[in-house]
Amino acid sequence: MKKHLALITWNGLPEGAESERLLLPYLAAAGVETKIIDWRSSVGFSQFDLLVLRSCWDYHLRAAEFTEWLRRAACEATVLNSLTTVMWNQNKFYLQELERLGIEIAPTIFTTGREAIGTEERWRIKQWPQIVVKPAVSASAHKTCLMDGVALPADAELARQTGGGPFLIQQFIPEIQTHGEISFIYIDGIFSHAVLKRPAVGDFRVQQEHGGSAEAFTPPAALLHQASQIAAAVQQVRESLYCRIDAVARDGKLVLMELELIEPELFLGLAEGAAERFAEAIVSRFR
């Protein structure tokens, strides 16, 4: 019996990203009929056996609409990564939970956006040479800005900059600019490959839409071991079809920036065999 798969994208990429297109011949060879579908399409998703979230890169701009769609879609077909994982991962406050697990993250102040930042927290922030301010629900560095810690704006201005919802204030890790950010890609909880992302000169954002670059990278054994410890410690990574662990190496130790479990670019074209491995993992989910 033929298997029916939808790779979920957005209307800015109707044919999906390169990583999705690389999967198609392997999926076809396994007898999987695949369509790349915009999540906002009027198509009936019940015709598919499996929906894999891939390049739905506008979800953070339509968070409520996306969540409503996701809940409906999960009633019609199996969605990967799972609804519970996506809901957990879409708000960056999950980093608090990881910190409690003993995973090192960038020093962070988490604020709901409804309360004033306390005097003690403001004092702590001003000890940081530079800070990154970002909404709790965001992707691709949307509404993310870099500034001096001593220049932290008033609460009303911070709320305006971040869209009025919960947001994070993090100590900027300068190694992002000097050494780059490493993305460790895990498929079914197992390490597949890694890439090194660098920001453009004078910028701090590593995303390609902001001028950043990405290249294949073989991580030192010690750093890979640390990344795999993170993957093993976090249930959502162990249970998911895919995860991208973004981290910065600082004095030989990984500082976790984010776990990407919703729609990360997996850079399948930068690692030999990666597309085939991911396709095989998808096929195995039909069984």
* 285 part of a folded domain: no
pLDDT digits (tens, 9 = 90+) for 236-272: 999 999 999 999 999 999 999 999 999 999 999 999 9
Looking at the fold, whether 38 and 24 belong to one and the same domain comes out as yes
Q: What is the largest CA-CA distance in the chain?
A: 63
Whether 137 and 195 map to the same domain: the answer is no
Are 166 and 213 within one domain?
no
Same domain, 219 and 99: yes
Asked, for residue 279, whether it belongs to a domain, the answer is no
* CATH, residue 152: 3.30.1490
Residue 196 resides in a domain = yes
- What pLDDT is stored for residue 210 in this prediction? 63
CB neighbours of residue 3 within 10 Å: 18
pLDDT at 107: 95
The mean-pLDDT minimum among 3-7, 82-86, 114-118, 184-188 falls in: 114-118
Mean pLDDT, range 36-48, rounded to an integer? 95
Question: What span, in angstroms and rounded, lies between the C-alpha atoms of 207 and 200?
Answer: 9
Confidence of residue 171 (pLDDT cuts 50, 70, 90): very high
**Per-residue pLDDT, 141:** 61
- Asked if residue 283 belongs to a domain, the reply is no
Per-residue pLDDT of 101-111, as tens digits, reads 999 999 999 98
Sorting pLDDT into bands at 50, 70 and 90, what band is 162? low
Condensed to tens digits (0 to 9), the pLDDT of residues 2-19 reads 899 999 999 999 999 999
Whether 8 and 67 map to the same domain: the answer is yes
Question: Can you say how many angstroms the Cα of residue 80 is from the centroid of all Cα atoms in its chain?
Answer: 14
Please report, rounded to a whole number, the percentage of residues in the chain having pLDDT higher than 90: 74
Mean pLDDT score, 156-168: 76
Average pLDDT, the chain: 91
Q: Are residues 125 and 240 in the same domain?
A: no
**Does the pTM of the predicted model rise above 0.85?**
yes
The larger pLDDT score, comparing residue 274 to residue 145, is at 274
Which residues are within 8 A (CB) of 100 and not within 5 positions of it... i.e. 6 or more apart?
none
Alpha helices, DSSP H, located in 138-254: 155-162, 175-178, 221-233, 235-239
Q: Write out the residue range of the structural domain in which residue 149 sits.
A: 108-171
Q: Say yes or no: 167 and 209 in one domain.
A: no
Handedness of CA 198, 87, 23, 284 (dihedral sign): positive
Q: What is the mean pLDDT of residues 120-140?
A: 86
Domain with 204 in it: what CATH number? 3.30.470.20
SS (H, E, C) 97-128: HHHHCCCCECCEEEECCCCCCCHHHHHHHHCC
148 and 183 assigned to the same domain:
no
Q: What average pLDDT does the segment 24-41 reach?
A: 97
Is pLDDT of 224 > 90? yes
What is the domain-level CATH number for residue 43? 3.40.50.20
Q: How far is CA 285 from the centre of its chain?
A: 21
Residues 200 and 63 in one domain: no
pLDDT classification of 158: cutoffs 50, 70, 90 = confident
Hey, is 176 helix, strand or coil?
helix
Mean pLDDT value across residues 87-91: 96
pLDDT at 144 over 90: no
Distance of CA 179 to the CA centre of its chain: 20
